[in-house]
Structure 1
Amino acid sequence: MERPADLAAAIDAAAEVLVGVLDSAASRHHISVSPTQLRVLSLISSRPGTNVNRLAELLDVVPSSASRLCDRLEATGLLRRVADPRDRREVRLRPTAAAEKLLRELTERRHRAVQAVLDRMPPRAQHELLLALLAFGQAAPPAAAEQQTDSAVRTA
């Protein structure tokens, strides 16, 4: 395959297709929470002990906005606020069992959707894609690599 004239644009377009596959896996199954709420759940699930201020930093929002998101998630039974045993003034955010189940189901649906596309690709292309994505991940700046843990639901 010949290198496209604008490689970055071609990769961006391919990434949009991947995001579309991932999005469709979530939207076809009528997820009851918004993409932002899913991102919050993913962030706190992957970062035990997160508090509202840290969540606000991760989301790049003011703490009051992060707190309102947590209020809505707590009202739906997907999030708990618990006192830190070392400092009772500090409140930690914890996903509930229902939230963990929701995230697990979403991940499984997304994996099945990606696998369906991979199954239509030749094995060699699958392997080359994996190698290219791994190399891309290693070349990405550290801040982008840290954000990968919540990418599973960022676009959901």
Structure 2
Amino acid sequence: MKQPLDLAAAIATAAEALVGVLDATGSRHQLTVSPTQLRVLWLISTRPGTNVNGLAELLDVVPSSASRLCDRLEAIGLLRRAADPRDRREVRLVPTAAAEALLQELAQRRQRAVGAVLERMPVRAQHELLLALVAFGQAARSAATTVQAETPARSA
């Protein structure tokens, strides 16, 4: 059995291969949308009601940097800012229909690309990979929950 550091290195190498497959699927949009902008679109589409401060926190950047990212996405028609109906002082970030279509197309292309790699693997290895990734995801979520519980709340 591999030592934890050897195993971590092997997994990091495999993860880089997966990221390479996923990144290659987005190359058609690289001229107009950067990977960071795609991440912003994904974050706001999966977290309705996100505002610039919330986005900045998710990205671990200062609010002014998040706002500039949003300005660029708004300029190319992929994002709009909308007043929160419950509190008109609050501005929410909303992906446009074009952004949703882009994200859907990208997700489909990524699934096809990963599927093409999986087809080159034996069925048993595919199943083992799935089980391992599910277990890894559960452990990662558990670790994140533990870290959040142990981290003192930030003061305003």
Unaligned runs of 5+ residues in structure 2 are 146-156
TM-score by length of 2: 0.86
Distance in 2 of aligned mates of 1:81 and 1:38: 17
SS at structure 1 position matched to 2:120: coil
TM-score by length of 1: 0.86
TM-superposed deviation, 1:85: 0.8
Unaligned runs of 5+ residues in structure 1 are 146-156
Compare CA radii of gyration and give the structure with the larger one: 2
Residue type at the aligned position of 2:48: P
User: For the structure 1 residues 142 and 84, does the alpha-carbon distance in structure 2 shift closer, same or farther, using more than 3 Å as the test?
Assistant: farther
Distance in 2 of aligned mates of 1:142 and 1:83: 35
Runs of 4+ in 1 over 3 A off after TM superposition: 141-145
Residue 87 of structure 1: aligned partner: 87
Residues 43-101 of structure 1, C-alpha deviations (whole Å, 9 max, x = no match): 00000000000000000011111111111101110001000111110000000000000
Aligned length: 142
Q: After superposition, where does 1:37-56 map in structure 2 within 5 Å?
A: 37-56=37-56
Give the percent of matched residue pairs that are identical in Structure 1 and Structure 2. Answer: 79
TM-superposed deviation, 1:24: 1.0
Instruction: Tell me which of the two structures has the higher relative contact order, counting C-alpha pairs closer than 8 angstroms and 6 or more residues apart.
Output: 1
TM-superposed deviation, 1:26: 1.2
Residue 153 of structure 2: aligned partner: none
Residue 25 of structure 2: aligned partner: 25
